Amino acid sequence: MEGTDHQRIKANGIWLHVAQKGTGQLVLLLHGFPDFWYSWRHQITYLADRGYHVVAPDLRGYGDSDSPANPSSYTLLHIVGDIVALLDHFGQHQAFVIGHDWGALAGWYLSLLRPDRVKGLVALSVPFYNRNPEARFTEIFDRVFGDGFYICQFQEPGRAEQAFARYDCLTVMKKFLLLNRTDNMVAPPGIEIIDDLETPAVLPAWITQEELQVYADKFQQSGFTGPLNYYRAMDLNWEISAPWQGSKVTVPAKFIIGNQDIGFETSGTKQYIEGGVFRSFVPDLEVVVLNGHHFIHQERAQEVSEEIAAFLHKHSSK
């Protein structure tokens, strides 16, 4: 990542590591699970070369950022607070926000809670869903999928960490980043999800052994508890987001997803993003479906970068 500057910034009471490159309109790149700023290595250079100041933080709990011990410190309100603090640090009232997975959720909630701070949002892999007032997330998941569902297994502190520890970090990274199954990630009874995930014998063309080792080295250092705490705060998210029940995301938004993403066909995601309900909550919305899996911004790096750049160009002058 030649020319990329790294620094740690005091934001919202914690220290956040950021990678940045370029000058111009601020663009924030928010990663997901299990990831860190390096997830955006292709987009950082692509967008910086096109006249943007690109900032990719390690979200709290990840990489070289602080990792609070309590799962209750990982709500979306905390993450939104971190992002607003980064905007303030860089002296920018507004920024374009690009998010993948949990980073997409953070982008949706930033746009919901502080639309004044968002010039436009590009969300990858995870659409915006209206809050279900009848049941908490884990109640629904447990009822529909049972204990084998990965999010259910991630709830108990230490359980997933102990399961992950049976493998070296490089294998754990391969199991998640190279995931090509399209079902709902439910392990058979009595099996941990990490044991049920395959370890591909051959790497796909979009990632190298050296790049995977960068991931392995970073997670060997930082561990998985911080990232898993995002899942452990999901029910708390449900509780504290009640005041925004039924609210709309009014900022310009673009949603990008792979047609082989987790649950795209089996969980109704395809029908949801192509139907009217998604657009009823995000009125100013573009939807793009690419041929690919969950880590679409790496697997289809050029196409995703072009889609992001087109969106930024469209809304930069507004």
**273/258 Cα distance (integer angstroms):** 12
β-pairing, 25-30 vs 5-11, is: unpaired
Return the DSSP state at 270.
H
CB neighbours (10 Å) of residue 6?
12
Cβ-contact 231, 155 below 8 angstroms: yes
The DSSP-derived string for 166-211 is TS-HHHHHHHHHT----S--BPPTT--HHHHS---SS--TT--HHH
Angle at the Cα of 276 from the Cα atoms of 270 and 281, rounded to 5 degrees: 100
Angle at the Cα of 46 from the Cα atoms of 28 and 300, rounded to 5 degrees: 95
Cβ-contact 97, 104 below 8 angstroms: no
In this structure, the dihedral spanned by the alpha carbons of residues 175, 104, 300 and 51, taken in order and rounded to 10 degrees, is: -130
State the catalytic residue, choosing from 78, 101, 230, 293.
101
Report which of 44, 28, 18, 298 is spatially closest to residue 176, judged by C-alpha positions. 298
Return the DSSP state at 149.
B
State the catalytic residue, choosing from 150, 230, 231, 297.
231
Residue 215: active-site member: no
Residue 78: active-site member: no
Residue 294: active-site member: yes
Print the SS3 string covering 3-35: CCEEEEEEECCEEEEEEEECCCEEEEEECCCCC
β-pairing, 14-21 vs 52-57, is: antiparallel
State the catalytic residue, choosing from 17, 53, 294, 297.
294
**100/234 Cα distance (integer angstroms):** 17
**Catalytic residues, which ones?**
101, 231, 294
